[in-house]
Amino acid sequence: MAAALVVMGFGPAVASARDTSKGTAVVPAKLETGIPAARLADTTKVASLPDSQAPTYLRDVLPIFMGKCARCHNDESRFLYNWLDYKTAFGERQQIKRRVWDSWKGQYYKQSMPAGNSPECEAMTAEERATIKNWVAAGATYGVPPVASNAKSKAERIEQGSRLFASICALCHQPTGQGIPNQFPPLAGSDFLNANKERAIKILLHGRQGAITVNGHAFDSSMPSLPLGDEDIANALTYVYNSFGNSGKEVTPDEVRAARAEKDDTTTPHEQKEVAKAPHVPNPYE
């Protein structure tokens, strides 16, 4: 994935997937906003927002996609659209709106996304669903990244990383870092994490496929590659290393940049061979 820098609304910089078509800005439609979550599903109240406040992909929607959709909709998926890529998400914007909002409201015949009974389905809030709907209604614009807020100390890095972890990582690894048994490995007191900082950086850079053993338990789930920038990865890992009983290490953006420039060696030779020979499956909807 390309490394065009973007920034999420909570502060840290992220790198966009593929900076292609930016869409066309239009006058915003009536947008549901400012409504408590408990009332949002039943209300018809709407409010008009100016262009500057309408949701955009970079600022508002991409963080939701990374935190609530990326386990299935990522650049490794053969059968599902990669919503982390703006061009793909823009092209599928109406279907995204129907599946995330209309089906959730009982107004569309297909199952709502995220799929029912999944961790993502339970975690996606009414406000997040409305943000995605409103983004489509406002023209599904790409937006512009706000000014990045770079950490100036380890304490600042931990503080920024905690927000990033809560927004994107906690769904699978849980707010306590304990993970989900037989599905997602723990980060709390993780022997796998603490043994090799460079490997941890590369997993966040490139994702991870294949079985691993963490604290004596086997896991065979996959972690997608997320469009995170060097500062984001440094902040997130520094927070994790300084939480949940871990080693207290610090990760810097310079270390992430150095790892980004190296070959991805987080998979075993057997896994690399399997990936190399896997046939390309064309998208049946293209």
pLDDT of res. 147? 66
Domain extent for 230: 154-267
Residue 213 and residue 192 in contact, taking contact as beta carbons nearer than 8 Å: yes
pLDDT digits (tens, 9 = 90+) for 48-60: 566 668 999 999 9
Q: Is 248 domain-assigned?
A: yes
- If you count them, how many residues does the chain have? 286
Residues 123 and 158 in one domain: no
pLDDT at 1 over 90: no
Counting the structural domains of the chain, the total is: 2
pLDDT of res. 91? 96
Residue whose tokens read 């502060």: 11
pLDDT digits (tens, 9 = 90+) for 148-163: 678 999 999 999 999 9
Q: Is 252 domain-assigned?
A: yes
Q: Is 127 domain-assigned?
A: yes
Residues 189 and 130 in one domain: no
Query: Residue 178's pLDDT band (boundaries 50, 70, 90)?
Result: very high
Residues 97 and 197 in one domain: no
Residues 189 and 258 in one domain: yes
Phi first, then psi: what are they for 224, rounded to 5°?
-75, 160
Residues 177 and 108 in one domain: no
pLDDT at 24 over 80: no
Q: How far is the C-alpha of 83 from the C-alpha of 63, rounded, in Å?
A: 11
CATH for 215: 1.10.760.10
Residues 12 and 114 in one domain: yes
pLDDT of res. 18? 36
Q: Is 200 domain-assigned?
A: yes
Q: What is the DSSP string of 128-166?
A: HHHHHHHHHHTT-----PPPP----SHHHHHHHHHHHII
Q: Among 85, 103, 137, which residue terminates a domain?
A: 137
